[in-house]
Copies of this chain bind each other. A is one copy, B any other.
Protein backbone atom coordinates (compact mmCIF):
# COMPACT_ATOMS: atom_id res chain seq x y z
CA UNK A 1 0.00 0.00 0.00
CA UNK A 2 1.21 3.52 -0.76
CA UNK A 3 0.72 5.74 2.27
CA UNK A 4 0.92 9.54 2.53
CA UNK A 5 1.76 10.88 5.98
CA UNK A 6 0.37 14.29 7.01
CA UNK A 7 2.30 15.52 10.05
CA UNK A 8 5.77 14.75 11.42
CA UNK A 9 5.38 15.08 15.19
CA UNK A 10 5.94 12.39 17.82
CA UNK A 11 2.91 10.26 16.94
CA UNK A 12 3.72 10.43 13.20
CA UNK A 13 7.34 9.57 13.89
CA UNK A 14 6.60 6.31 15.75
CA UNK A 15 3.61 5.09 13.74
CA UNK A 16 5.23 5.84 10.37
CA UNK A 17 8.34 3.89 11.35
CA UNK A 18 6.12 0.93 12.27
CA UNK A 19 4.16 1.20 8.99
CA UNK A 20 7.15 1.41 6.66
CA UNK A 21 8.21 -2.13 7.56
CA UNK A 22 5.21 -3.36 5.51
CA UNK A 23 4.09 -0.43 3.33
CA UNK A 24 5.59 2.22 1.09
CA UNK A 25 5.60 5.75 2.54
CA UNK A 26 5.20 7.90 -0.58
CA UNK A 27 5.20 11.38 0.97
CA UNK A 28 5.63 13.15 4.30
CA UNK A 29 4.05 16.56 4.84
CA UNK A 30 4.81 18.89 7.75
CA UNK A 31 4.56 22.66 8.18
CA UNK A 32 8.23 22.31 9.13
CA UNK A 33 10.20 21.12 6.08
CA UNK A 34 13.04 20.00 8.39
CA UNK A 35 10.71 17.70 10.31
CA UNK A 36 9.16 16.36 7.10
CA UNK A 37 12.60 15.64 5.65
CA UNK A 38 13.89 13.99 8.83
CA UNK A 39 10.95 11.60 9.02
CA UNK A 40 10.99 10.95 5.23
CA UNK A 41 14.66 10.03 5.46
CA UNK A 42 14.02 7.66 8.39
CA UNK A 43 11.49 5.67 6.34
CA UNK A 44 13.22 5.76 2.92
CA UNK A 45 10.53 8.05 1.53
CA UNK A 46 11.58 10.09 -1.53
CA UNK A 47 9.20 13.04 -1.04
CA UNK A 48 9.02 15.53 1.83
CA UNK A 49 7.03 18.75 1.58
CA UNK A 50 5.82 21.71 3.62
CA UNK A 51 3.32 22.74 0.90
CA UNK A 52 -0.08 21.22 1.58
CA UNK A 53 -1.11 22.04 -2.01
CA UNK A 54 1.44 19.60 -3.35
CA UNK A 55 0.26 16.52 -1.46
CA UNK A 56 0.03 13.59 -3.87
CA UNK A 57 -3.43 12.62 -5.12
CA UNK A 58 -2.65 8.97 -5.91
CA UNK A 59 -1.82 7.37 -2.53
CA UNK A 60 -3.87 4.41 -1.24
CA UNK A 61 -4.11 5.80 2.29
CA UNK A 62 -3.71 9.18 3.97
CA UNK A 63 -2.93 9.38 7.68
CA UNK A 64 -3.44 12.78 9.30
CA UNK A 65 -1.30 13.05 12.44
CA UNK A 66 -1.37 16.77 13.18
CA UNK A 67 -2.38 18.50 16.44
CA UNK A 68 -6.10 18.17 17.35
CA UNK A 69 -6.88 21.81 16.66
CA UNK A 70 -5.26 21.67 13.18
CA UNK A 71 -7.22 18.64 11.93
CA UNK A 72 -10.23 20.62 10.66
CA UNK A 73 -8.10 23.04 8.62
CA UNK A 74 -5.91 20.30 7.12
CA UNK A 75 -9.00 18.20 6.32
CA UNK A 76 -10.62 21.16 4.53
CA UNK A 77 -7.51 21.89 2.46
CA UNK A 78 -7.29 18.27 1.32
CA UNK A 79 -11.00 17.89 0.50
CA UNK A 80 -11.62 15.43 -2.32
CA UNK A 81 -8.06 15.34 -3.68
CA UNK A 82 -8.45 11.54 -3.66
CA UNK A 83 -11.87 9.96 -3.08
CA UNK A 84 -10.87 6.36 -3.67
CA UNK A 85 -8.25 6.28 -0.91
CA UNK A 86 -8.88 5.53 2.77
CA UNK A 87 -8.38 8.56 5.05
CA UNK A 88 -7.86 8.63 8.79
CA UNK A 89 -6.72 10.77 11.66
CA UNK A 90 -5.10 9.54 14.91
CA UNK A 91 -6.74 11.79 17.51
CA UNK A 92 -8.47 10.44 20.61
CA UNK A 93 -10.62 13.51 21.17
CA UNK A 94 -11.63 14.39 17.59
CA UNK A 95 -14.72 12.76 16.06
CA UNK A 96 -14.63 10.40 13.10
CA UNK A 97 -16.74 12.85 11.05
CA UNK A 98 -13.96 15.47 11.15
CA UNK A 99 -13.04 13.93 7.76
CA UNK A 100 -16.58 13.65 6.37
CA UNK A 101 -16.00 16.46 3.84
CA UNK A 102 -12.54 15.24 2.87
CA UNK A 103 -13.25 11.86 1.30
CA UNK A 104 -15.85 9.11 1.03
CA UNK A 105 -14.01 6.46 3.13
CA UNK A 106 -12.61 7.74 6.37
CA UNK A 107 -12.13 7.00 10.03
CA UNK A 108 -9.89 7.07 13.07
CA UNK A 109 -6.84 5.06 14.14
CA UNK A 110 -6.15 6.13 17.72
CA UNK A 111 -3.05 4.79 19.52
CA UNK A 112 -3.37 4.83 23.33
CA UNK A 113 0.23 5.65 24.17
CA UNK A 114 2.40 8.64 25.00
CA UNK A 115 5.15 9.25 22.45
CA UNK A 116 8.48 11.01 22.87
CA UNK A 117 10.66 11.53 19.80
CA UNK A 118 13.77 9.95 21.30
CA UNK A 119 12.25 7.09 23.27
CA UNK A 120 12.22 3.69 21.59
CA UNK A 121 8.73 2.24 21.79
CA UNK A 122 7.65 -1.29 20.96
CA UNK A 123 4.57 -0.27 18.97
CA UNK A 124 3.39 -3.90 18.82
CA UNK A 125 2.18 -3.57 22.44
CA UNK A 126 0.18 -0.38 21.86
CA UNK A 127 -3.62 -0.70 21.97
CA UNK A 128 -5.16 0.82 18.82
CA UNK A 129 -8.75 2.02 18.67
CA UNK A 130 -10.42 2.14 15.26
CA UNK A 131 -13.62 3.72 13.97
CA UNK A 132 -14.81 4.39 10.41
CA UNK A 133 -17.79 5.67 8.43
CA UNK A 134 -18.46 2.33 6.69
CA UNK A 135 -17.75 -1.35 7.30
CA UNK A 136 -15.40 -1.36 4.31
CA UNK A 137 -13.52 1.70 5.60
CA UNK A 138 -13.20 0.03 9.04
CA UNK A 139 -11.69 -3.05 7.45
CA UNK A 140 -9.18 -0.96 5.44
CA UNK A 141 -8.14 1.00 8.54
CA UNK A 142 -7.87 -2.21 10.59
CA UNK A 143 -5.60 -3.71 7.93
CA UNK A 144 -3.23 -0.76 8.30
CA UNK A 145 -3.53 -0.94 12.11
CA UNK A 146 -2.43 -4.59 12.12
CA UNK A 147 1.03 -3.56 10.84
CA UNK A 148 1.48 -1.52 13.99
CA UNK A 149 0.00 -3.73 16.72
CA UNK A 150 -2.22 -6.76 17.19
CA UNK A 151 -4.19 -5.05 20.00
CA UNK A 152 -6.99 -3.49 17.93
CA UNK A 153 -10.34 -2.50 19.40
CA UNK A 154 -13.33 -0.85 17.72
CA UNK A 155 -14.24 2.37 19.57
CA UNK A 156 -16.68 5.11 18.65
CA UNK A 157 -16.21 8.72 19.75
CA UNK A 158 -18.01 8.19 23.08
CA UNK A 159 -15.83 5.18 23.91
CA UNK A 160 -12.69 7.13 22.95
CA UNK A 161 -13.76 9.89 25.35
CA UNK A 162 -14.24 7.29 28.14
CA UNK A 163 -10.82 5.89 27.28
CA UNK A 164 -9.28 9.34 27.41
CA UNK A 165 -10.91 10.03 30.81
CA UNK A 166 -9.66 6.69 32.13
CA UNK A 167 -6.15 7.50 30.88
CA UNK A 168 -6.27 10.94 32.52
CA UNK A 169 -7.09 9.30 35.88
CA UNK A 170 -4.59 6.46 35.49
CA UNK A 171 -1.62 8.42 34.11
CA UNK A 172 -1.99 12.21 34.28
CA UNK A 173 -3.58 12.31 37.74
CA UNK A 174 -1.30 9.55 39.08
CA UNK A 175 1.62 11.71 37.92
CA UNK A 176 0.01 14.65 39.77
CA UNK A 177 0.13 12.53 42.95
CA UNK A 178 3.77 11.64 42.27
CA UNK A 179 4.52 15.37 42.05
CA UNK A 180 2.86 15.88 45.46
CA UNK A 181 4.88 12.97 46.91
CA UNK A 182 8.01 14.61 45.45
CA UNK A 183 7.06 17.91 47.16
CA UNK A 184 6.57 16.12 50.51
CA UNK A 185 9.90 14.24 50.25
CA UNK A 186 11.72 17.46 49.28
CA UNK A 187 10.75 18.88 52.69
CA UNK A 188 12.95 16.15 54.22
CA UNK A 189 15.65 16.52 51.51
CA UNK A 190 14.83 13.06 50.14
CA UNK A 191 14.85 12.35 46.39
CA UNK A 192 11.79 10.96 44.58
CA UNK A 193 13.92 8.00 43.47
CA UNK A 194 13.49 6.36 46.92
CA UNK A 195 9.84 5.73 45.96
CA UNK A 196 10.66 4.07 42.64
CA UNK A 197 11.09 0.45 43.93
CA UNK A 198 7.72 0.72 45.70
CA UNK A 199 6.11 2.32 42.64
CA UNK A 200 7.47 -0.34 40.29
CA UNK A 201 6.22 -3.10 42.62
CA UNK A 202 2.78 -1.44 42.68
CA UNK A 203 2.64 -1.41 38.87
CA UNK A 204 3.97 -4.97 38.58
CA UNK A 205 1.05 -6.23 40.68
CA UNK A 206 -1.34 -4.95 37.98
CA UNK A 207 0.04 -7.47 35.50
CA UNK A 208 -1.87 -10.20 37.34
CA UNK A 209 -4.56 -8.50 39.45
CA UNK A 210 -7.11 -5.73 39.09
CA UNK A 211 -6.46 -2.43 40.88
CA UNK A 212 -9.34 -3.15 43.24
CA UNK A 213 -7.59 -6.32 44.49
CA UNK A 214 -4.15 -4.67 44.54
CA UNK A 215 -5.23 -1.83 46.85
CA UNK A 216 -3.15 -1.54 50.04
CA UNK A 217 -2.46 1.24 52.54
CA UNK A 218 -4.15 2.82 55.58
CA UNK A 219 -7.51 3.46 53.84
CA UNK A 220 -7.64 -0.10 52.44
CA UNK A 221 -7.09 -1.41 55.99
CA UNK A 222 -9.57 1.10 57.44
CA UNK A 223 -6.78 2.31 59.75
CA UNK A 224 -8.32 5.60 60.93
CA UNK A 225 -5.53 6.19 63.47
CA UNK A 226 -2.91 6.47 60.70
CA UNK A 227 -5.28 8.39 58.37
CA UNK A 228 -5.97 10.98 61.11
CA UNK A 229 -2.27 11.23 61.95
CA UNK A 230 -1.45 11.88 58.28
CA UNK A 231 -4.29 14.39 57.87
CA UNK A 232 -3.08 16.33 60.92
CA UNK A 233 0.33 16.70 59.22
CA UNK A 234 -1.13 18.04 55.95
CA UNK A 235 -2.68 21.38 55.01
CA UNK A 236 -4.45 22.99 52.06
CA UNK A 237 -4.65 21.12 48.78
CA UNK A 238 -2.61 18.12 50.06
CA UNK A 239 -5.01 17.73 53.02
CA UNK A 240 -8.03 17.96 50.70
CA UNK A 241 -6.66 15.38 48.24
CA UNK A 242 -5.61 12.99 51.04
CA UNK A 243 -9.12 13.20 52.52
CA UNK A 244 -10.99 12.75 49.22
CA UNK A 245 -8.88 9.82 47.99
CA UNK A 246 -8.91 8.05 51.39
CA UNK A 247 -12.71 8.43 51.47
CA UNK A 248 -12.89 7.01 47.94
CA UNK A 249 -10.92 3.90 48.97
CA UNK A 250 -12.85 3.52 52.26
CA UNK A 251 -16.20 3.81 50.41
CA UNK A 252 -15.13 1.35 47.75
CA UNK A 253 -14.09 -1.24 50.35
CA UNK A 254 -17.35 -0.71 52.24
CA UNK A 255 -19.33 -1.38 49.04
CA UNK A 256 -17.17 -4.40 48.26
CA UNK A 257 -17.92 -5.98 51.64
CA UNK A 258 -21.65 -5.21 51.68
A residues adjacent to B (C-beta < 8 A): 93, 112-114, 116, 119, 121, 125-127, 151, 153, 155, 159, 161-182, 184-185, 187-188, 190, 192, 194-207, 210-212, 214-220, 226, 229-230, 233-234, 237-238, 240-242, 244-245, 247-249, 251-252
Number of copies: 2
Query: A214 to B252, alpha carbons, bound, how many Å?
Result: 29
21 residue pairs from A and B, CB less than 8 Å apart: A112-B194, A114-B216, A151-B194, A153-B190, A161-B229, A162-B187, A163-B190, A163-B194, A168-B242, A169-B238, A171-B202, A172-B216, A172-B217, A172-B219, A173-B177, A173-B217, A173-B249, A174-B174, A175-B215, A182-B211, A237-B247
- Residues of B with C-beta under 8 A to A192: 206, 210-211
Residue ID in chain B nearest A115 by CB atoms: B201
- Which 5 A-B pairs rank lowest in CB-CB distance, beginning with the nearest? A172-B217, A178-B211, A170-B181, A179-B211, A166-B181
- Residues of B with C-beta under 8 A to A229: 93, 161
Structural contact, A185 and B201, CB atoms closer than 8 A = no
Structural contact, B113 and A197, CB atoms closer than 8 A = yes
Structural contact, A195 and B177, CB atoms closer than 8 A = no
Structural contact, B230 and A202, CB atoms closer than 8 A = no
